[in-house]
Amino acid sequence: MKQPMWIKVAIVGILFSCTYIHADDARARMIMKKVDARDDGQTIQEDMQMILIDKSSKKRIRYLKSYSKDFGKDEYRILFFKSPADVKNTGFLTYDYDDSSKDDDQWLYLPALKKVKRIPTADKSGSFMGSDFSYFDMTDRDLEDYDFKLLKETKVRGKPAWVIEALPRNQRVVKESGYMKTIGIVRKDNYVVVRSISFLKNGKKKYMDIAKLHKQNGVWVSDEMTMITKKGKRILHKTILKFKNIKVNKPLPDSIFTTRRLEKGI
């Protein structure tokens, strides 16, 4: 997929030590396979506006440029912060591998340090650049790491949808993601996860909502997405992403998606 990986993939279990006893729902898994297989284009480039809102309603706005491309079954994505000055030229590169036995690679370039830092697996549940999205959210989720259960059918903004619960199959996934479980809402007409609730280990919840999306060159892309972190009913922080100048399936050179380019900048 080309837009943020958290768009694509949003059970009932009993915990014994570090192992879940669970049941997989065949219909729910079939739906999630279609979510995963949905055409998201060979390439996407877009401008992003990231609005960070704290619990006092104080806003910070950041502008980014993002590029994504399929490399066979793998997907590479790179983004650069264009402004403001305190984050300008910060870059982030992700190699999202299709092979479930291989950990995804992520690198962050911080211009103040003039150094590319590899994001270790143990840190992937951490916040990405002060937003409500984590490094883990920046990659696709491996379906084989989860059991799925179809909870019910519903409507979202008038569109029929399924409500599906996903529970990690082992403690490794919980540790890496920071999520105990996720409930996602999948639109029936396009297999896009348009809403989700992720339950964190620390008792907080993260609410994702895609408020606007459209179809371009046969590919569904989002125009606006929100992630809110709550504890109980109290909003702790909110991130709004707005996408503009979206280009689908336009040629992109492979050389963009390297750590060398990460250091060089946009």
Tell me what pLDDT residue 99 has: 87
pLDDT band at 169 (very low <50, low <70, confident <90, very high): very high
Q: Are the C-beta atoms of residues 99 and 75 closer than 8 Å to each other?
A: no
Give the tens place of pLDDT for each residue, 194-233: 999 999 999 999 999 999 999 999 999 999 999 999 999 9
pLDDT band at 31 (very low <50, low <70, confident <90, very high): very high
Region 239-254: mean pLDDT is 97
Q: Higher model confidence: residue 19 or residue 81? A: 81
Whether pLDDT at 114 is above 80: yes
Q: Is 234 exposed, middle or buried (0-12, 13-18, 19+ CB in 10 A)?
A: exposed
Tell me what pLDDT residue 3 has: 53
Tell me what pLDDT residue 60 has: 97
Q: How many CB atoms lie within 10 A of CB 84?
A: 11
Tell me what pLDDT residue 4 has: 53
pTM of structure = 0.88
Structure tokens at 87: 């984050």
